[in-house]
Each structure stands twice: as structure tokens, then as C-alpha cells.
Amino acid sequence: MTEAYGGIGINHMRYGIFSDVHSNIEAFTTAIEYYKKEKIDTYIFLGDIIGYAANPKETISLLRTLDPICIAGNHDWAAIDKLSADYFNEYAREAIVWTKTQLSKAENSYLRNFPLTYQEKNFFCVHGSLNNPENFNYIWGINEARENFELLTTDILFVGHSHRAQIYYRNTKGVFFHPEGSISIKTGEKYIINVGSVGQPRDRDSRLSLCIYDSEENIVTIKRLVYNISLAAEKITEAGLPQILASRLYVGW
């Protein structure tokens, strides 16, 4: 694991942890409005502020106002030529090419400063997977979760990348999927929390997804919120981006 932040070493905090905004300013604005009411102490962004939708400059600008801890996503790396466009499907590639034309040198420089991982005493953050973070592998299900639990040295792993809000946990009986939106962190167990996607959910739920981790209460909560999908989709169409990037927002896939 390379390019990691060191931990800030503060206990008993409320963390706002979110991922995969993907240039969707409508969803991002709604998410931040919610967070502002939740007395968040520290924001942690798990990657992919840009790509797919039509407001990369605006989403970067709003992200910076939070003074968050940021880690790099695959779209962030592609925008600054640290990852080959061959990694992506044709729609994602087209959006990356368009996004590059929108970003200033200062915005590129900001993205370049994102490391691959971040760690505190009891949790670790990465965009995709602990298995070679620079390759942006996915955690799709129990098998990948089990592999990551073997690599996990903290109690909790926070990830994004798949755009699917999911919770897995491991105890002495095995590895399990947790279907609820909230889970209590228990001593002796390990947890993988996929916080889902703010800007382009892919779990058949079109509502944006975000996460709050209360380290004093030892509770992780995934929250879903309705946002103005039609406006975000309209902007994608007007920008000349692939129509599928607009239509998929309505179905959460």
C-alpha cells in the first residue's frame, strides 16, 4: 500500500464519509446540506469527485470548502493521466476526455495531491480494495469481502468504487452481509462498509448514498437521500455526454 495519509489520532468524532460524487453537483449539494445538520467533525472523501456528469469544476470547488481528507479514485487518476483510459468502458472514457477539457491547472494539481489510502487507529480507507489499491479492484460480494478481511489490520474498512451501499462483517462464525443501513461496531468483529455513491448509485436505488461514522457511539449509518435527478440528467445531455449517463440516474444503475 502506497501514498497513504497518516492518521490524525483523534477519538470520539463524527465522520462524514462519502464517495463517488462524479461531477453531480445536484446530488453533492443535497448531501452536504444534510451533513451540515449532523454536526460532522471530519469529512473523509473516498475518491472520484469527477467523471460521468456535467459539473466537475463545481463539485471540486464544493469539496474543497469541506477541508476534507481525500483519497484518490480511478476517475481522479485518469483525469491527471495517472491511469490509462483503457481501464474504462466507452462511456466512462468519453466522460473522462470531456472532463479533462473542463479542468484548470489548479484543479488538476488538487487531484494530484490525493493519496491512495488513509488510516486512523481503528479504521482504514481506500477507494476500491486493499488488494493492490492502485489497481482499483472491486468488492462485489462475500468472496472479495473475505479476501479484504484477511488484509485488514484495523476494525473497519471504508470503501466506495462499486457504487453499491453495502455492509459486511466478520466474526468467529464467518463473513456475513448486513442488509440494514446502520450497524453497531462490536469488539472482536471486523467490518467492511461500502458507503455507496453520492453521484451515481448502482444498487437499484436512485437516491444518493452517504455515511456517518460516530466513533463514540460506535455506530456506522448509511443514509439515502432524494435529490434533483432530472436537473443533473438534463445537464449531462446538454453537455453532449453519453445519454446513458443521464438515463441511468433515474434507475440507480
Total structural domains in the chain?
Answer: 1
The CATH number that applies at residue 118 is 3.60.21.10
Task: Place 12 in a pLDDT band, splitting at 50, 70 and 90.
Answer: confident
| CA 54 – CA 9 distance, rounded (Å) | 37
| CA 158 – CA 34 distance, rounded (Å) | 20
The amino acid at 200: Q
This prediction's pTM: 0.95
Q: What is the pLDDT of residues 94-143, one digit of tens each?
A: 999 999 999 999 999 999 999 999 999 999 999 999 999 999 999 999 99
Residue showing cell 453532449: 240
Percent of the chain whose predicted confidence (pLDDT) is above 90? 93
Is residue 157 scored above 90 in pLDDT?
Answer: yes
- When pLDDT is averaged across residues 213-242 and rounded to a whole number, the result is 98
Q: What is the pLDDT of residues 191-213, one digit of tens each?
A: 999 999 999 999 999 999 999 99
Per-residue model confidence (pLDDT) at position 33: 98
Q: What is the pLDDT of residues 164-196, one digit of tens each?
A: 999 999 999 999 999 889 999 999 999 999 999
158, 193, 201: which is closest to 21 by C-alpha?
Answer: 201
Per-residue model confidence (pLDDT) at position 10: 47
Is residue 2 scored above 70 in pLDDT?
Answer: no
Is residue 8 scored above 80 in pLDDT?
Answer: no
Q: Write out the chain in H/E/C secondary structure.
A: CCCEECCCCCCCCEEEEECCCCCCHHHHHHHHHHHHCCCCCEEEECCCCCCCCCCHHHHHHHHHHCCCEECCCHHHHHHCCCCCHHHCCHHHHHHHHHHHHHCCHHHHHHHHCCCCEEECCCEEEECCCCCCHHHCCCCCCHHHHHHHHHHCCCCEEEECCCCCEEEEEEECCEEEEECCCEEECCCCCEEEEEECCCCCCCCCCCCEEEEEEECCCCEEEEEEECCCHHHHHHHHHHCCCCHHHHHHHHHCC
Tell how strand 4-5 and strand 156-159 pair up: unpaired
Tell how strand 190-195 and strand 165-171 pair up: antiparallel
Is residue 3 scored above 90 in pLDDT?
Answer: no
169, 166, 211, 199: which is closest to 44 by C-alpha?
Answer: 211
What Rg value do the Cα atoms of the chain yield, rounded? 17
Tell how strand 4-5 and strand 117-119 pair up: parallel
| CA 250 – CA 229 distance, rounded (Å) | 7
Per-residue model confidence (pLDDT) at position 11: 59
14 contacts 40 by C-beta, under 8 angstroms? yes
Q: CA dist 127 to 76, 100, 119, 203, 246, Å?
A: 11, 21, 12, 17, 24
CA 172 from chain centre, in angstroms, equals 29
For residue 48, report the phi and psi dihedrals to the nearest 5 degrees.
65, 65
| CA 11 – CA 97 distance, rounded (Å) | 41
Q: What is the pLDDT of residues 22-70, one digit of tens each?
A: 999 999 999 999 999 999 999 999 999 999 999 999 999 999 999 999 9
Is residue 1 scored above 60 in pLDDT?
Answer: no
Domain that holds residue 9: 4-251
- When pLDDT is averaged across residues 209-236 and rounded to a whole number, the result is 98
